[in-house]
Structure 1
Amino acid sequence: MTETLVISIDAMGGDHGPSVVIPAVAHALAIVPANVRFLLHGDEGALAPELARHKAVLQRADVRHAERVIGMDEKPAQALRRGKGTSMWNAVEAIRDGEAVAAVSAGNTGALMAISKLILRMSADLERPALVASIPHERGVTTFLDVGANVDCDAERLVEFAIMGEAFHRAAHGVPRPTVGLLNVGSEEMKGHEEVREAHRVLREGKLDLDYRGFVEGDDITRGAVDVIVTDGFTGNVALKAMEGAARFMSNELRTALTSSLGASLGALLARPSLRKFRDRLSPPPAAPLLGLNGIVLKCHGGASERDFAQALRVAVDLAQSGFAAEIERNMRRLPAALADAQPAPADGAAAADGAPSMESPK
């Protein structure tokens, strides 16, 4: 018999809560395998009206009551203090307790990261999780991380992101040996701040067995120059939001142009299938997985539509059936040796630090 896969859902998270989540689950029933079930965490009173409108959901879902919700404006530390028993906390806890293989939430990003790290802990020797987005280009997708979980990153964190992103891309997109690039303001060796240049040196000189191609620039994200592009969470989030804004602008301008006259409207009607494909290609990623945890947690954006959230559930199922977590752990075992290999040569007189006698006379 096929093993049942259970996806745990924070049904109260995001800007819309149950009014989007429950219809999204109903929509997802048609796009996920028949062996998938859902665990809905939230206030039973708030969920009941939506479940009454979508009765098919209860045939493949169970409801777990949670009275409290973590607000979208709560700070991570506050969410940790009062999070136990909330819909988000319970959704993640279901993974730890073996009741689910993945969790999906459209709630507060900082709170989700903090709660997930506390409950699930980090895989291998990773320091912090990273949010990853899949950005479409003409030949496939670019794995782009971090897109918001870590605002400040040192060189070692960036190297960790490269390891995680490469393993994720191989498992999620079936590329045997993904190429990796480091986002910078130019491709020249001397450009960028110190942490980016140091990460570049470690990736180039360390024995990580990654197909590292060096620095890439902002326009390479949608050009498909490499399979995986690594940056800090501040830069990644700004870039992602800029791309989402540009996509909305183009879609709105196209809609305006196609409804400007009767002839244009008739043409749009005939071109509807192609326009839908165009819309789907420009749509932002439905969810960003938090990489590096001992479990699969996906962050759906707060204003997610029913279609977005349903697609996020499909991504959760696909990841649960892949081996990306094991790939990350295997790659992480090589990081300490790579960092040691890439250490700069000691300066004159530094041998004394290793216990060798110094050539200098005491003063």
Structure 2
Amino acid sequence: MSQRLTIALDAMGGDKGPDMVIAGADIARERHPQVHYLLFGDTARIEPLLAQRPALRAVAEVRHTPDAVAGDAKPSVALRAGRQSSMRLAIDSVAGGQAACVVSAGNTGALMAMAKFVLKTIPGIDRPAIASFFPTLRGESVMLDLGANTECQPENLVQFAVMGAVFARTALNLSEPTIGVLNIGSEEVKGNEVVRAAATRLREMPLPGRFHGFVEGNDIATGTVDVIVTDGFTGNVALKTAEGTAKLFTEFLRRTFQSSWTARLGYLLARGAFKRLKQRTDPRRYNGAMFLGLRGVCVKSHGGTDAIGFANAIGVAYNLAANGFNDRIKEEMQRLADAKPLPDTKAAAV
């Protein structure tokens, strides 16, 4: 990709901002040398960090912001009182056309509230959804929603499926991604009215992919489908469960290899294999959750990530912006509207 674009960064977001943000931007600069950065935050803290990285300084512009959104701030309070915060002004730069996308490691709820208020939703999309990657036995999959919408109607899940399929085609380069609705069983009679009504509609639609049907929790890791659709409550529980299981497995391995001298010897002999395993399951590799459905690319980085993880989040934003992701969603929604008006799936669920 040779397209030059500008990325806005909330330099004060995250547990270790702005140090982590600036270090991550410098790593991303090496991967995407054609990118220009708008850094929003406290100039007094950002400029000394940039002085240590002259190559990044040459492609970055600092815009001073007096405020930053606290990690524990309520979304409503942040939206009302954070108009001059680094997060809000970074989002504003996307709405104003000064930047192609925004990346923040700050407060998730505040970021979603601000982004939805400022950027608005794409025509045909009622609610934005949080999407991210999951490692699977087959490679990677996309899952949404991961926490933005705790309660959904069938039409929300239908829209999530369309956005997720376009996301998979753009980010994973899949020509015909498979789509599944997360349920408590794969049979058509399983689940509540919402998921059954959504599945009925998805079976009838000319999707930008192929509808597989219902999938269960164990299908997430096996990679049964490329796109997993669910409500934000279930998706967030699945995400946190997967993260906790990964940490538990890592701790079990550490304790096992420290249990005896023969175990330590076994680790030394298999060190190369374990290094590859660590790289494959490294959460930093999958950092960067996209807020799908907004009229601008907005990517949320994990607040506790390091520079490598933040650089990967920047890479997600760059890939989506450079490939016209939002334009593709608009085209798909218009194509579906032209093909056949969406029925009242809310009524079908009653």
Q: Same fold (TM over 0.5)?
A: yes
Question: In terms of Rg, which structure is larger?
Answer: 1
Task: Specify whether residues 49 and 265 from structure 1 end up closer, same or farther in structure 2 by C-alpha distance, changes over 3 A only.
Answer: farther
Residue aligning to 1:60: 59
Cα distance, 1:121 vs. partner? 1.5
Identity %: 45
Range moving further from structure 2, 259-268 or 142-151? 259-268
Following superposition of structure 1 onto structure 2, how do residues 182-221 of structure 1 map, counting pairs within 5 Å? 182-208=181-207, 210-221=209-220
Residue aligning to 2:25: 25
User: Does the aligned pair in 2 maintain the 1:170–1:324 contact within 8 Å?
Assistant: no
User: Does the aligned pair in 2 maintain the 1:94–1:100 contact within 8 Å?
Assistant: yes
Cα distance, 1:304 vs. partner? 1.4
Residue aligning to 2:299: 298
Looking at structure 2, the residues matched to 96 and 85 of structure 1 have their Cα atoms a distance apart, in angstroms, of: 15
Range moving further from structure 2, 95-104 or 216-225? 95-104
Following superposition of structure 1 onto structure 2, how do residues 161-172 of structure 1 map, counting pairs within 5 Å? 161-172=160-171
User: Does the aligned pair in 1 maintain the 2:198–2:345 contact within 8 Å?
Assistant: no
Residue aligning to 1:339: 342
Cα distance, 1:170 vs. partner? 1.0
Looking at structure 1, the residues matched to 15 and 333 of structure 2 have their Cα atoms a distance apart, in angstroms, of: 36
Looking at structure 2, the residues matched to 256 and 62 of structure 1 have their Cα atoms a distance apart, in angstroms, of: 47
Residue aligning to 1:354: none
User: Does the aligned pair in 2 maintain the 1:244–1:283 contact within 8 Å?
Assistant: no
Residue aligning to 1:348: none
Residue aligning to 1:76: 75
Amino acid at match of 1:27: I
Amino acid at match of 2:163: M
User: Does the aligned pair in 2 maintain the 1:13–1:70 contact within 8 Å?
Assistant: yes
When the two structures are aligned, how many residues end up with a matched partner? Answer: 344
Residue aligning to 1:125: 124
Amino acid at match of 1:117: K
Deviations 1:57-110 (A, max 9, x none): 312221111110111222222121112121001111111222211110011111
Deviations 1:149-192 (A, max 9, x none): 11111111000000100111111111111111100011122221
User: Does the aligned pair in 2 maintain the 1:181–1:229 contact within 8 Å?
Assistant: yes
SS at match of 2:8: strand
Residue aligning to 1:358: none
Deviations 1:105-155 (A, max 9, x none): 011111111111122111122111111011111222111000111111111
Looking at structure 1, the residues matched to 225 and 346 of structure 2 have their Cα atoms a distance apart, in angstroms, of: 26
Looking at structure 2, the residues matched to 175 and 276 of structure 1 have their Cα atoms a distance apart, in angstroms, of: 28
Residue aligning to 2:287: 286
SS at match of 1:8: strand
Cα distance, 1:49 vs. partner? 4.0
Amino acid at match of 1:33: H
Residue aligning to 1:310: 311
SS at match of 1:34: coil
Looking at structure 1, the residues matched to 298 and 347 of structure 2 have their Cα atoms a distance apart, in angstroms, of: 37
Task: Specify whether residues 254 and 335 from structure 1 end up closer, same or farther in structure 2 by C-alpha distance, changes over 3 A only.
Answer: farther
SS at match of 1:196: helix
Residue aligning to 1:11: 11
Amino acid at match of 1:20: M
Task: Specify whether residues 343 and 71 from structure 1 end up closer, same or farther in structure 2 by C-alpha distance, changes over 3 A only.
Answer: closer
SS at match of 1:128: coil
Range moving further from structure 2, 101-110 or 278-287? 278-287
Task: Specify whether residues 275 and 335 from structure 1 end up closer, same or farther in structure 2 by C-alpha distance, changes over 3 A only.
Answer: farther
Amino acid at match of 2:249: M
Cα distance, 1:264 vs. partner? 4.7
Following superposition of structure 1 onto structure 2, how do residues 246-265 of structure 1 map, counting pairs within 5 Å? 246-260=245-259, 264-265=263-264
Cα distance, 1:338 vs. partner? 5.0
Amino acid at match of 2:20: V
Following superposition of structure 1 onto structure 2, how do residues 99-110 of structure 1 map, counting pairs within 5 Å? 99-110=98-109
User: Does the aligned pair in 2 maintain the 1:71–1:108 contact within 8 Å?
Assistant: yes
Task: Specify whether residues 207 and 177 from structure 1 end up closer, same or farther in structure 2 by C-alpha distance, changes over 3 A only.
Answer: closer
Residue aligning to 2:33: 34
Residue aligning to 1:361: none
CA RMSD of aligned residues (A): 2.3
Residue aligning to 1:180: 179
Range moving further from structure 2, 234-243 or 209-218? 209-218
Cα distance, 1:324 vs. partner? 2.5
Looking at structure 2, the residues matched to 111 and 342 of structure 1 have their Cα atoms a distance apart, in angstroms, of: 30
Task: Specify whether residues 57 and 244 from structure 1 end up closer, same or farther in structure 2 by C-alpha distance, changes over 3 A only.
Answer: same
Range moving further from structure 2, 183-192 or 226-235? 183-192
TM-score of the pair, normalised by structure 1? 0.88
Range moving further from structure 2, 253-262 or 323-332? 253-262
Amino acid at match of 1:70: V
Task: Specify whether residues 107 and 341 from structure 1 end up closer, same or farther in structure 2 by C-alpha distance, changes over 3 A only.
Answer: closer
Cα distance, 1:46 vs. partner? 2.4
User: Does the aligned pair in 2 maintain the 1:205–1:341 contact within 8 Å?
Assistant: no
SS at match of 2:221: coil
Task: Specify whether residues 344 and 39 from structure 1 end up closer, same or farther in structure 2 by C-alpha distance, changes over 3 A only.
Answer: closer
Structure 2 gap ranges (5+)? none
Looking at structure 2, the residues matched to 98 and 242 of structure 1 have their Cα atoms a distance apart, in angstroms, of: 38
Range moving further from structure 2, 286-295 or 75-84? 75-84
Looking at structure 1, the residues matched to 29 and 3 of structure 2 have their Cα atoms a distance apart, in angstroms, of: 17
